[in-house]
Amino acid sequence: MAWQRTSKEVRPDTDTDFYVAHEDTIAHIRETYEDTGKSISFSISLSEDTLTKTKTRVFDTEASKNTFVADDVIVADRAVFAQHCTDNNTTKAEVTDEEI
pTM greater than 0.75 (yes/no): yes
Dump the DSSP string for 11-64. Answer: -SSTTSPPP---HHHHHHHIIIIITTTSEEEEEEEE-TTS-EEEEEEEESSHHH
pLDDT band at 8 (very low <50, low <70, confident <90, very high): very high
15-64, pLDDT tens digit by residue?
Answer: 999 999 999 999 999 999 999 999 999 999 999 999 999 999 999 999 99
CATH assignment at residue 63: 3.30.70.100
Residue 31 structural domain? 3-99
12-28, pLDDT tens digit by residue?
Answer: 999 999 999 999 999 99
Report how many domains make up the chain.
Answer: 1
